[in-house]
A and B are shown apart, each in its own frame.
Chain A
Amino acid sequence: GNSVTQMEGPVTLSEEAFLTINCTYTATGYPSLFWYVQYPGEGLQLLLKATKADDKGSNKGFEATYRKETTSFHLEKGSVQVSDSAVYFCALPLFYGGSQGNLIFGKGTKLSVKP
């Protein structure tokens, strides 16, 4: 099956700093790639996704580009806010093709943004 490796945290930044969270994957074919976010005490929410190579997913100022040549899907934001403090998970389907089933997740990166 596919696999994902995510930069481990925690990451502490000051407000308005630039954020990068690295994510690399091993996959058969070209599955969709996802970033999910988990705010304290809540379930996971889809942050953004990309469905094919060179696609850029974006939401709430966050971006990630599906790079097949480097098998990466790094999450970036130009200017973080305190409200972005959360745990971020990179994810992809366990198996390529057919109906999407089991997602596999990275270990998560905890981001803390200080005012």
Chain B
Amino acid sequence: EAGVAQSPRYKIIEKRQSVAFWCNPISGHATLYWYQQILGQGPKLLIQFQNNGVVDDSQLPKDRFSAERLKGVDSTLKIQPAKLEDSAVYLCASRQTGTTDTQYFGPGTRLTVL
């Protein structure tokens, strides 16, 4: 079974530029999460989707971050414009709703904002 796929793995941009990350969850997983992991800290949830609907986006900085999961499968997370403090690893995770409470994580995208 293929795991959670993310791309790109690394991205370097300058502040005020925009960037987008892509995630493809495990096949059949209805729930998808985006986390931000700042160096030396644990991951923090940005947004949770159930199919193509948003369940929780209370910690998403909506003035600059946006995310979508239009067809209920893959998802994109966008930052526009980026700030220095957005430098972090962005992790995508998915879960098979109803049968398990385990989240499966992708390898992450390491973003550096200069």
Using a CB–CB cutoff of 8 Å, the interface residues on chain A facing chain B are 6, 32, 34, 36, 41-46, 49, 51, 89, 91, 93-94, 99-108
Contact = CB atoms under 8 A, between A and B. Distances in A.
Contacts, number: 59
A103 B104 CA distance: 12
A58 B101 CA distance: 16
17 contacts: A36-B105, A42-B108, A43-B4, A43-B6, A43-B107, A43-B108, A45-B105, A89-B43, A93-B101, A99-B31, A99-B97, A100-B101, A101-B48, A102-B48, A104-B42, A104-B45, A107-B42
Interface in B1-52: 4, 6, 31, 33, 40-45, 48
Q: 5 closest A-B pairs (Cβ-Cβ)?
A: A105-B42, A43-B105, A100-B101, A44-B105, A102-B45
B95 A100 contact: yes
A107 B91 contact: no
B84 to A, nearest CB: 21
Nearest to B58: A102
Nearest to B48: A101
Interface in B45-70: 45, 48, 55-56
B68 to A, nearest CB: 19
B45 A32 contact: no
